Amino acid sequence: MPDRVKTSFIPKQSLKVERHTAVSKGSIGIVNVIASLILLLAIVGAGGLFLFEKFTIQNIERKRVSLDRARAAFEPATIKELSRLNTRLVAAESLLGIHVSQSQLFSEIEKITLDSVRFENFSISESAPGVLVVAMSGEALSFNALALQSDAFGDSDFFSEPIFDNLNINESGNVVFSFTGIVTENSIRYRTNAGVQSEVTNEVDL
């Protein structure tokens, strides 16, 4: 009996091709979506940068206009005059910082001199930079009065190393003497004493 020829109506090869084609189209679609998203993000980012740049430029321009208005509110002549005044004040402060006020020294001597002692022949000289030597001659009613006067000079913040020498008795029975003492310029600078007086005034006001 002759063999039968087996036939099939299912095109197996055609199905394989269709499946392969369907898979390829799906991959291309995903790539297109990703590319579209990247392009969209790039467009949005570029637009954002553009808007930020415009905002920054406008903000700078507004601040520049505001600064110009502020400058225009001050007259250049007034600014120049105030600058000159400031220079003069700085120079005056510098001069006051090194100015020696001898009137402060005289006030101190007047304050600490006892009623039983008197001074004469005042002189002042500079023995070293910033160091002054005060020399005077005087007369006291007694040696006790002279000892008390020596203590007063020793307690003073203005004088250091006060020396009373050349002691003698004059025709009136009083004690005559010579005095030398060292004074530092810092203790009689105008600025230093002005600051002390200001502090004392503030304490009294309080």
What global pTM score does this model have? 0.46
How do residues 139-197 score in pLDDT, each as one tens digit? Answer: 999 999 999 999 999 898 888 889 999 999 998 899 999 999 988 777 666 654 444 44
CB-count burial class (<10 Å; 0-12, 13-18, 19+) for 182: middle
CB 179 within 8 A of CB 164: yes
Quick: pLDDT tens for 69-114: 777 666 677 777 778 887 787 766 665 555 566 778 888 889 999 9
Strand segments (E) across the chain: 117-128, 131-140, 159-169, 175-184
CATH architecture of 100-188: 2-Layer Sandwich (3.30)
What is the sign of the dihedral through the CA atoms of 187, 193, 195 and 201?
A: positive
How many residues does the structure list for the chain?
206
Domain regions of the chain by residue span = 12-73, 100-188
How many angstroms separate the CA atoms of 154 and 6, rounded?
Answer: 143
